[in-house]
Structure 1
Amino acid sequence: MAAIQIEFDVPAQMRDGTVLRADVYRPGGTGPWPVLLSRLPYGKQTPLAGIVLDPLAAARRGFMVVIQDTRGRFASEGQWEPWTYEESDGYDTVRWAAALPGASGSVGMIGASYFGNTQWMAALSKPPELKAIAPMVTWSDPDDGLWTRGGAIELGITAPWTLMMGTDALMRRHSTDPAALVGSLGRLVQDLDGLADGGYGELPAGRFPAFARHDLPEVGYERSRREPGWATSCRVAGRHDEVDLPTFQVGGWYDIFAQGTLDNFAAMRSAGRSATLIMGPWSHANQQHVVGDVNFGFAANSAFMGMRGRLHDLQLDWCQRTIGDGEALEPDTGKVLLFVMGINQWREETEWPLSRAVDTHFHLRADGRLTPEPPSIAEQPDEFTYDPMNPVPTTGGALLLSDEFRPGPLDQTAVEAREDVLVFTTEPLTEDVEVTGRVRAVLFTATGGPSTDWVARLCDVDENGVSRNVTDGIVRVRAAKPGEAAEHVVDLWSTSIVFRAGRRIRVQVTSSNFPRWDRNLNTGEPEETATTGRVARQQVFHDPARPSRIVLPVVPPA
């Protein structure tokens, strides 16, 4: 295996004649070798590609590794359009890779985020040589974490991702005009660097001005609204039964696509497929043991995995079992490995969600209390004023924004000191409370405007009174009746954490989390045209007829 052979920019012709190029890594010897394929738009030689799939390590394990630039990116020909061609190009590339000299004819795919989705799209196209996929930190429904969440635009990721992807697009566009290239790149970088300092605030959010200034294809929110049929180009939700392959899925509790990973796993299990799941305490781009303000212990690091070895090696072990002999094997039914925060331990399970978890209600109460008991007498609603021109700033969470905004669990002191953030807290817990599963808030609210947002956030308050976010969510109310109470359910996605004895559970309720999600301007105008905001008076009710609450999946002690 010492004599690994590398070919650069190997051409693969797609069905329409477009040539895509890949780097191919072959182990020493003559083969045949199973193929590990990764298709990404970020440059096949970028360090990011090597972090997700170390081609030399995989070649030493006896895999032929193929890393390809997707259409219209870097060395590949064609027009860059996010998502549009990944299903057809995935099919053609798998068939091409399986026929390369030395290939066994059996292909597996591996990759994260965008190149996690290219795996799902290839699998949905059903090339016969594709035997397994191993997607990391990728979504299921793009309208649940990629384009929107709860109806609000995922502006935080849309803006920097689109602008960063624009560098290669501009280099292609101005390849014969150095002066134009320098100018256009300079303006692009200025917009990218200025996002946190006002750029995110440009309006309208649904037709973001920076994208038009640079004439760039955006991540897909705007196009999906213009062309609803096109939205299927990266949607996995609803199609899992079409994928008859084993899957190895990896996610993080503070990843922007955390729920998508869990939903993909659960759907594959429900379809009767072999599926493996690993969920760490990680964010989208950080699989180490310190995330946000919290050190989860070195066991949480993907290089260690609680003495299980490197995550990358666990993935390669699984690939060896599923495609290693060039045939479609029957792997085990799959495993579930969850990192339980709070106690900072990995735990093996056989299912997700956990059937033993019990939905337990904690009720919002007067004077900022959070109690298992619902209100038995009338309590005055809590009120605040929401001004979209002074939104609650994004402070931690499962997010991927410009670099000024750190993901993960962060100190919420500044957020909770704002007058437009309601805070409800339990008494110190007398025993540990484990919450593992999907969290939701049921809020009875009223607004003074025709449209508004409701944000709920679950927090862990330590013995020193420091509150740190665990998980959150948003729901956009598009047709509110001003001043009229209505019930709204906020999906906070999923988590696994033990709230330790002596600590407290806290819930925040507010109407913004910006720039993670675009601001609701409280006017009811479409996001594609709205540029003027109005102030709204907000009410949150907690009385016997309108018991606002958070629902936590509590796991009973063993």
Structure 2
Amino acid sequence: MAEIQIEFDVPAQMRDGTVLRADVYRPGGTGPWPVLMVRLPYGKQSPLMAAMLDPLAAARRGFLVVIQDTRGRFASEGPWEPWTYEESDGYDTVRWAAALPGSNGSVGMCGGSYFGNTQWMAALSKPPELKAIAPMVTWSDPDDGLWTRGGAIELGITAPWSLMMGADMLMRRHSSDLNGLVSGITGLVQDLDGLAGGGYGELPSGRFPAFARHEIPELGYERSRREPEWAASCRVAGRHDEVDLPTFQVGGWYDIFAQGTLDNFTAMRGAGRSATLVMGPWAHTNQRNVVGDVNFGFAANSDFMGMRGRLIDMQLDWFQGTIGENGEAPEPDTGKVLLFVMGVNQWREETEWPLSRAVDTDFHLRTDGRLTLEPPSTAESAEEFTYDPMDPVPTTGGALLIAEEFRPGPLDQSAVEARDDVLVFTTEPLAEDLEVTGRVRAVLFAATDGVSTDWVARLCDVDENSVSRNVADGIVRVRAAPPGEAAEHVVDLWSTSIVFRAGHRIRVQITSSNFPRWDRNLNTGEPEETAATGRVAHQQVFHDPARPSRIVLPVVPPA
């Protein structure tokens, strides 16, 4: 395997004549070898690609590795339209790669985020040579983490991603016009650099001005609203039963697509397919052991995996068992679940997700900022605060992929919790460890004097030094709300796995914004595509016997 051969920019013609190009890594010898393929829009030698797959290491393990620029990106021809062509191009590329000299005719795909979705799209197109996929940190429903969350726009990722992806497009557009290129790139970089300093605040958020200034495609929120049918071009949700392949799925508790990874896994297992799941304490682009303010221990590092070895080697071992020379798809009941349990900072092997032994347990919002297992038995006064969209609660940690000034992961919440527009409810110190593993939701009985508003809930772990750090959060956008009338709202905080240690306290924050992670609700009821003027909203959260606001935690009983 020492003499790896590399061919650069190998052409593959798609069904409409467009030529896409790939780098091909061949092991030494004559083969035949199984094909391991990546299709991505970020450049074939980009650090993002290398973080997901080391092509030399894979070739040394006996894989013919194909790394392709997607349509309209870098060395590949055609127009750049996010998502549009990935299903058909995925099909054509798999068939082309399977016929390359040295291929054994079996193809597997790997990679994460956008190029996790290119795997799902290729799998949905059903090329006969595709035998296995290993999508990492990618979504299931684009309206649950990619374009929107709970009805609010994922502005945090939409703005920087679209601007960054515009650079290659501008270079193509101005390839023979140096002055135009300099001017275009300069303006793009200025907008990208200026996001955290005020650029995120441009309105309307649903038709973001920077995209129009540079005439670049955006992540897809705006187009999906104009063309609802087009939104299916990257939606996996609802189609899992069409994918008759084994999957190896990897996600992180602080990844922007954490729930999508879990949803993809449960849907594939529900469809009777073999599926493996690994969930670390990681953020989207950070699979190391330090995430945010917390060191989860070296066992959490993806290069160690609690003495299991490198995550990439675990994946390559799996591929050798599915597309190798004697590879056979594993039986549906051979899938594994490997969870990192935060708090105790340990990997734990399971056979299912969600855990059937977890018990949904209500922790009730109470007067004087208390959070108790006991529901209110008598009338308690509603909590009130004022939400000003021109002074929103700043994003501080969480499952983020936004401008680099905003760090993802668990961060100190003291500045957030000191604000007048953030309600805080806290338990007494725990007498013993309490494990929460599964999907978290908040049930709020709340009212606003606006016709539309947002409700944000955040679960936090308060340590023995009274430092509060975020664990999970979520948002729900309320439209056409009867002003001043209390209604029940459910906020999906997605899933987590954490042990709240004895002596720690559980805390819940309730507010109406988390900006710029999610766009601000201007409280006017106008569509996000046109709204440009905000109003202050007066908010109420109720907790009495008839309106028991609470957070529901999936508590795992001690073994």
TM-score calculated relative to the size of structure 1: 1.00
Tell me the residue number matched to 1:254.
Answer: 254
Distance (whole Å) between structure 2 residues aligned to residue 532 and residue 169 of structure 1: 32
> Amino acid of the residue matched to residue 171 of structure 2?
M
CA distance in 2: counterparts of 1:92 and 1:254, whole angstroms: 34
CA displacement at 1:333 relative to structure 2: 2.0
Would you say the 8 A contact 2:278–2:338 is kept in 1? yes
Distance, in Å, in 2 between the alignment partners of 1:50 and 1:484 is 53
In the alignment, the residues of structure 1 paired with residue 388 and residue 132 of structure 2 have an alpha-carbon distance, to the nearest angstrom, of 49
Q: What residue in structure 2 maps to residue 491 of structure 1?
A: 492
1:157-306 superposed matches below 5 A: 157-306=157-306
State how far apart, in whole Å, the 2-side matches of 1:264 and 1:330 are. Answer: 18
Q: CA deviation at 1:330?
A: 3.1
Q: Structure 2 regions of 5+ residues with no counterpart?
A: none
Q: How far apart, in 2, do the equivalents of 1:455 and 1:245 lie?
A: 37
Name the structure 2 match of 1:527: 528
Distance 1:330 1:361 in 2: 39
- Give 1:327 deviation, angstroms: 5.2
Where do residues 97-496 of structure 1 align in structure 2 (5 Å cutoff)?
97-325=97-325, 328-331=328-331, 333-496=334-497
| Counterpart secondary structure, 2:334 | coil
Deviation, structure 1 residue 479: 1.0
Question: CA shift at 1:170, angstroms?
Answer: 0.2
Distance 2:35 2:428 in 1: 56
Partner residue in 2 for 1:542 = 543
Aligned residue type for 2:16? D
Amino acid in structure 1 at the alignment position of 2:336: K
Amino acid at match of 1:504: R
Tell me if the contact between 2:290 and 2:297 (Cα under 8 Å) persists in the aligned partners. Answer: yes
Equivalent position amino acid for 1:388 in 2: P
Give the Cα separation in 2 of the matches to 1:344 and 1:69: 38
Map of 1:504 onto structure 2: 505
SS at match of 1:28: coil
Query: 1:106–1:327: 8 Å Cα contact kept in structure 2?
Result: no
Supply the distance in 2 between the matched residues of 1:512 and 1:386 (Cα, whole angstroms): 8
Identity, in percent, stands at: 86
The question of whether the paired residues in 2 share the 8 Å contact of 1:34 and 1:326 is answered with: no
How far apart, CA to CA, are the structure 2 residues paired with 1:130 and 1:343?
39
Q: Secondary structure at the match of 2:241?
A: helix
- In structure 2, what is the Cα distance between the partners aligned to 1:50 and 1:199? 31
Report the CA distance between 1:191 and its aligned residue.
0.1
Show structure 1 runs of 5+ residues with no match: none
Counterpart amino acid of residue 336 in structure 1: V
1:178-221 deviation per Cα after TM superposition (whole angstroms, max 9, x unaligned): 11001100000000000000000000000000000000100000
Distance in 2, matches of 1:8 and 1:315, equals 25
Which residue of structure 2 lines up, in the alignment, with residue 60 of structure 1? Answer: 60
CA deviations over 1:75-129 (Å, ceiling 9, x no partner):
0000000000000000000000000000000000000000000000000000000
Quote how far apart the aligned CAs of 1:329 are: 3.2
SS of the equivalent of 2:171 reads helix
Deviations 1:9-45 (A, max 9, x none): 0000000000000000000000000000000000001
Contact residue 104 and residue 326 of structure 1 kept, 8 A: no
| Counterpart residue number, 1:94 | 94
Cα contact 1:106–1:326 (8 A) shared by 2: no
Distance 1:178 1:19 in 2: 26
Equivalent pairs, count: 558
Tell me the residue number matched to 1:77. Answer: 77
Q: Is the 8 A contact 1:33 1:326 kept in 2?
A: no
Aligned partners of 2:135 and 2:250 also within 8 Å: yes
Per the TM alignment, residue 549 of structure 1 is displaced from its structure 2 partner at its CA by: 0.1
Alignment-mate amino acid for residue 382 of structure 1: E
1:492 maps to a residue whose letter is L
- Code of the residue aligned with 2:228 in structure 1: it is P
What residue number does 2:554 align with? 553
CA contact (8 A) 1:136 1:251 kept: yes
Q: What SS class does the counterpart of residue 541 from structure 1 fall into?
A: strand
Task: Tell me by how many angstroms 1:48 deviates.
Answer: 1.6
- State the distance in 2 between where 1:172 and 1:294 align: 42
For residues 258-288 of structure 1, the C-alpha deviation after alignment (integer angstroms, 9 at most, x for no partner) is 0000000000000000000000000000000
Given that 1:175 and 1:181 are in contact with CA atoms closer than 8 Å, whether structure 2 keeps it comes out as yes
How much is the aligned-residue C-alpha RMSD, in angstroms?
0.6
Q: Any idea what SS the aligned residue of 2:116 has? A: helix
* Local SS of the residue matching 1:127: coil
